[in-house]
Structures are given as structure tokens and as C-alpha cells.
Amino acid sequence: MAAQKKNLEQLLNDLESIVANLGAAQVPLDEALSLYEKGIKIAQSCQSVLEKAEQKIAWLSATEQEPSDEDE
């Protein structure tokens, strides 16, 4: 079964959890590096989601400003 894509809120919760784990306890170096790598991947996913949302907003704004055939 394919993994479901997480929404931005879920990704941010995962990222917050990683930050809390890294900051709260003495984490062995290998585990800390693994958590850091996972955090970077999650941050990149968040950036991608935000970029797609920005593109959609720009597209919607552009189409809203185009004159329709009825306006002429």
C-alpha cells in the first residue's frame, strides 16, 4: 500500500517532535544525525507544500484578474 502524503500541519508536528527529541535528552550521535537528516527532509517537504500553495494562489489571482468574454 502506498504511503499517504501528509499535510503541512502533520509535517510541522513531525518536525516539532524531532526538534523536541534533539533538544530534550542526550541523544547518541548516530541517532541525532538520523533525526537531523529526517528533519531536513521534512523541512524540504514543507517548503514544497508552501511553494505549491503559493503557485496556486498566484494562478488563482491571475485568472481572477483576466477579463471574461462577458465583460466586453
Query: What is the chain's pLDDT, residue by residue, as a tens digit (72 residues)?
Result: 344 678 999 999 999 999 999 998 788 999 999 999 999 999 999 999 999 999 999 999 988 776 655 555
State how far the Cα of 18 lies from the Cα of 2, in Å rounded to an integer.
24
State how far the Cα of 60 lies from the Cα of 68, in Å rounded to an integer.
14
In 1-72, alpha helices (H): 8-24, 29-65
Rounded to a whole number of angstroms, the distance between the first and last alpha carbons of the chain is: 52
